[in-house]
Amino acid sequence: MCYNTRIIVWARSKRAVRPRGRANVENLLLSFNVVAPLILYMGVGALLRKSGIVDVHAFRGANNIVFYTALPLLCFRAIAASDLSAVVESPFLLYSIIGILLLYTLASIIVPRVCKVNQRRSVLIMGAFRSNDAIFGLGVATALLGEDHMALMALAIALSVPLFNVLSVISVEHYQGGATNFWRLLFRILTNPVLLGCLAGFIASWVHLELPEVLATPVKGIASLTTPLAFIALGGTMTFDALKKNRVAVTVVSLLRLLLIPIVALTVFLLLGFRGEPIVVALIIFGAPVAMATYTMSAGMGADDELAGSLVAVTSILSIVTMFFFIFVLKQLAFI
């Protein structure tokens, strides 16, 4: 039985006969239970910063802990414990990569026609195509799929994060008037901690490696920090200082990033016959807020970091609402 057939059968099995009103309430509660903890984590971060207990530099350090340690270990555990044959045989990952490339291409064509400032062009392009699937999305995926069904999400992150980095560097360098250094770019890709964690997971799955308890326990503990620590750090670093100045750009990118793009992407994947886990992953890849790395890269490479910060902050807040909406609708229609 092929992968697509299995997920369709899985989706149909979810259509158990239940009273309609009860199903609506259950789906509403599930949607709320997915996004509510994320709001609380972000609120804790904002409160810690506002009270002066933790400063922005410490939150950025916490974000580094997530990206360089917790997230790679989470991907490692998800892939190492999974049967990858069923995941790899599906064309879903290929379609996802094609979707990201199409988004980047369209953004690269449209943005220069509507924006004349080079420092803003690269930020708007990144805002349109680069989602925060590795940090924000994992919290949603874990809540919906459970830690034992994260292989497809981990593989999608392993492919999307390097691709996002490559396309972002090319975009920023192009509008800064510089030439992209191929070898430096290749080195950054190959040393990406998320990619390394996924590769280690592949090896562990292939050789059926089982970590001894003395290693398995801390690996599991650190991996479990990913979602809470990432969202606490996100809440502690968000600022809205430049929002008024960039309100038009923020409004347009937010509508694209959080509504139009995910609606189009989900429609395409549903028409292709995908159901269940792939739809959850597609929602995250194409419907997550603007990536935090957009601000970091803009600040470090001379792009408009004020605009980037506004995009990250606003889309991160609004995505709580849009994710709730998408999850509820998809559950109501038994697509996930």
Per-residue confidence in pLDDT tens, the chain, 336 aa = 555 544 444 444 454 445 666 767 777 787 788 778 888 888 899 899 999 999 988 988 887 888 888 888 988 887 887 766 666 677 999 999 999 999 999 999 999 999 989 889 999 999 999 998 877 777 788 888 877 778 888 888 878 888 888 888 888 888 876 666 777 777 777 777 877 888 888 888 888 888 899 999 999 999 888 888 888 887 887 777 777 888 999 999 999 999 999 999 999 999 999 999 999 999 999 999 998 778 777 876 778 888 888 898 889 889 888 999 999 999 999 898
Residue given tokens 């930020």 in the structure block:
123
Q: Among 299, 289, 302, which residue's Cα sits nearest to residue 174?
A: 302
Residue 197: per-residue pLDDT:
85
- Contact assessment for residue 145 and residue 137, using Cβ atoms and an 8 Å cutoff: no
How do the domains of the chain map onto residue ranges?
20-233+245-332
Rounded CA-CA distance 142/129 in Å is 23
CATH topology of domain 20-233+245-332: Na+/H+ antiporter like fold (1.20.1530)
The number of residues in the chain equals 336
DSSP label of 147: G
- The SS3 assignment for 172 reads helix
Q: What residue type is 276 in one-letter code?
A: G
- The SS3 assignment for 131 reads strand
